[in-house]
Chain A
């Protein structure tokens, strides 16, 4: 399933919605969008991934890049599917992000 994405910025919060498969082919486009979002130095990056069914190594690297480029950035992965969550856990990256079930939970995470 090809990747569909949309993004927005609201104050200090950047949102990126991803649906479909984030693989090697689609990763460069996502990377460009993330680059653009980070230029505004947001405090939070919300990844709305409820409809993201697959994330390849290239996708994970985008998150790692975002985190390392802006160490104070809080990355929230909202409602990941099990396969995506599994990948984040097995590679250890889940420790660098906040996994939440909804945007409403954002204010309750530390």
Chain B
């Protein structure tokens, strides 16, 4: 290689040798004897590569790109003999400063590479930055020498997933975690056994792309508490893992640490989905910092108004111009990189409807980016999940341009189930659809398009859903004006925590009802970290800035709320053991195999007579095992959301079959839920009495014999 002419420098500047580079790939790529730098700008009049030694204030050299090093709108050069480990780099772009036309070039600023794979400057979470540093978020090189051994993405069928939404830092930051590496990727390693025992097989990580926790940081006006950008929905660098989430971040080893986490999760059979934020960047609007895109090619990267301001469909100051061809390619390149180099199993797209807007902000009927992502060969086995709305009024749940690939966070499922559990009227017909996988929304797709959830990072935790009527976000310092007002919550008679045993027992029961419905629904279930053990945020439904015990997972709850945790584990096991709950076909409501029963039938307090009237708060359904391969038992589910106990007439089981009770949420442990093999038979096979606001799940299979049971 030493004899190849294209690896010899042709230019020199201040002792640094360089030559014309390769236009692709974008970013900084190690090549024999050097580093290839390539960056796009359609409107710059000059471009300078700025190189630092790590952490140093002043650059060691600034190399102007000669005119002949630009091909089209791409500047590229190879610089030789660099110390890869000690290198930080950025760019200065010259060009017009004319905000009205969308141009915001400023050569005085050093901007980061949009394709930076490692970013320094926030190496330790919450470490005070040097605010005088001329270059705050510093691009570095990444190394591709991690030993994956046999690892590969798991490609688990989406309908077999049970997704657990977790915040990397919050999962292990609480003092109760008690292990070193708290609040980091490495910290999660210690909790893999917990996740396995819980039964989830997929973790969805809140944003892990590099972001600035100090963005919009402030002191609470009354308490003085430091409020940070805790959730991270504000990307600084799309290709870089957050250094502050790595225990080895101060050593620059966040890439290895994250890859190791993914590898270990895969060994445990757990997929990894990343929450990605392509709807906006951390640069905010015209008042925000110039970190990267604004100083490189503002007009290409952002959707701008005719007079040069930033459209704000994200609610965060700016909107990424996702259907501009160059930006589209950046998104594709980024996701391909995470899929190929990090073995990520899928992506959840925050405010995904923005990805379907054109360069003027108008919704597209056939958005090129969404189509490209759906049909991309590298991403073909990745889960693609859309939060199918944005902050600009575009609501596309059920109508997101899916190309037969995209799944959606089903916000309608969330709202229906919340209303049903709290006993609202007129919800029964909708619930009947939601537990089937929402055919009204996804008829042409199947239930796999529906990610069913009742709680997520946005909104109340499950515990708080049944502990508060209204939000209590005073700790956020915005006079409780932030956060959703449409919570469909109910405090069970007391606002907030209480020692009243009756109230607490009811709350526990409602939480069990929630998990029961979630795990019995067709579609893809997802729940929020900590809901399995009753985590509370004390009524705060928008903890985006709360880096404290309000957001963190309190591991002592596993013991204190052991009954709920046990229930959730067993409900997940029940789901995984019953393929009828995980099918990707919609129920047809008819007998198409000659079993004598429809695949699904609905009932009320009387068998075969569901009550869909506005005043109804009860519904039951029967799933016939013979319509699903490998389904061993019929399943009957009765849901009584009325405040009174009610008798439910049960459909007759098959010949030589009898009903056994698996779940009864009105009972305390251990009689609230049984392993299928240990489920006791019902003494009375024709009728059960459901307690107020409770559910029962019965099974009947060909092997069942009528033996005396506990009821």
Contact = CB atoms under 8 A, between A and B. Distances in A.
Interface in B231-288: 246-248, 251-253, 256-257, 259-260, 263-264
A49 to B, nearest CB: 16
B85 A61 contact: yes
B145 interface: yes
Q: Which of A56, A68, A91, A96 has the most CB of B within 10 A?
A: A91
A86 B251 CA distance: 12
A91 B248 contact: yes
B253 A57 contact: yes
A57 B263 contact: no
A64 B259 CA distance: 14
A60 B256 contact: yes
Contacts of A64: 145-147
B86 A90 contact: no
Given A67-B147, A68-B147, A27 B85 contact: yes
A60 B83 CA distance: 16
B257 A57 contact: no
Of A24, A65, A67, A93, the most chain B CB neighbours within 10 A belong to A24
Interface in A66-110: 67-68, 86-87, 89-93, 95-96
Nearest to B260: A92
Nearest to B145: A64
B661 to A, nearest CB: 46
B264 A92 contact: yes
A60 B147 CA distance: 12
A58 interface: yes
Given A24-B86, A60-B253, A64-B147, A92 B248 contact: no
Given A56-B251, A86-B180, A87-B248, A92 B145 contact: no
Contacts of B259: 92
Interface in B144-187: 145-147, 149, 180-181, 184-186
A57 B256 CA distance: 10
Nearest to A25: B86
A29 to B, nearest CB: 13
A86 B189 CA distance: 13
B145 A91 contact: no
A27 B54 CA distance: 15
B147 to A, nearest CB: 6
Main DSSP-derived SS at the B contact region: loop
Interface string A34-45: 000000000000
A91 B85 contact: no
A90 B85 contact: no
B184 to A, nearest CB: 8
B403 interface: no
A90 B147 contact: no
B143 interface: yes
A61 B260 contact: no
A87 B251 CA distance: 9
B246 to A, nearest CB: 8
Given A57-B253, A96-B147, A90 B247 contact: yes
A92 B253 CA distance: 11
A29 B180 CA distance: 32
Interface residues of B, number: 26
Interface residues of chain A: helix, strand, loop or mixed (majority): helix
Given A61-B143, A68-B145, A92 B85 contact: no
Given A24-B86, A60-B256, A61-B143, A92 B251 contact: no
Contacts of B246: 90
A40 B600 CA distance: 71
Given A57-B253, A60-B253, A91-B253, A65 B248 contact: no
Contacts of B251: 56-57, 87
Contacts of B247: 86, 90
A17 B690 CA distance: 72
B405 to A, nearest CB: 32
Contacts of A60: 253, 256
B444 to A, nearest CB: 43
Contacts of B145: 61, 64-65, 68
Contacts of B263: 92
Interface in B355-397: none
Nearest to B54: A24
Nearest to A91: B256
Contact of B257 (A68, A90, A95, A96): A90
A65 B560 CA distance: 48
Contacts of B264: 92
A57 to B, nearest CB: 5
Nearest to A83: B251
A58 B83 CA distance: 10
B251 to A, nearest CB: 5
A86 B250 CA distance: 13
Nearest to B148: A92
Contact of A24 (B83, B149, B248, B253): B83
Contacts of B149: 95
A58 B181 CA distance: 21
Interface in B199-243: none
B247 to A, nearest CB: 5
B147 A91 contact: no
Contacts of A27: 85
A98 B257 CA distance: 19
A89 B264 CA distance: 12
Contacts of B143: 61
Contacts of B185: 90
A95 B267 CA distance: 13
Interface in B473-501: none
A42 B641 CA distance: 72
Residue from A60, A61, A92, A96 with most neighbouring chain B CB atoms (10 Å): A92
A90 B248 contact: yes
Nearest to A28: B83
9 tightest A-B contacts by CB? A92-B260, A91-B256, A90-B186, A58-B85, A24-B85, A57-B252, A64-B145, A24-B86, A90-B247
Interface of A: 24, 27, 56-58, 60-61, 64-65, 67-68, 86-87, 89-93, 95-96
Interface of B: 54, 83, 85-86, 143, 145-147, 149, 180-181, 184-186, 246-248, 251-253, 256-257, 259-260, 263-264
5 contacts: A60-B253, A87-B248, A90-B248, A91-B256, A92-B256
Given A61-B145, A68-B145, A90-B185, 13 more contacts: A24-B83, A24-B85, A57-B252, A61-B143, A64-B146, A64-B147, A90-B260, A91-B253, A91-B257, A92-B146, A92-B263, A92-B264, A93-B256
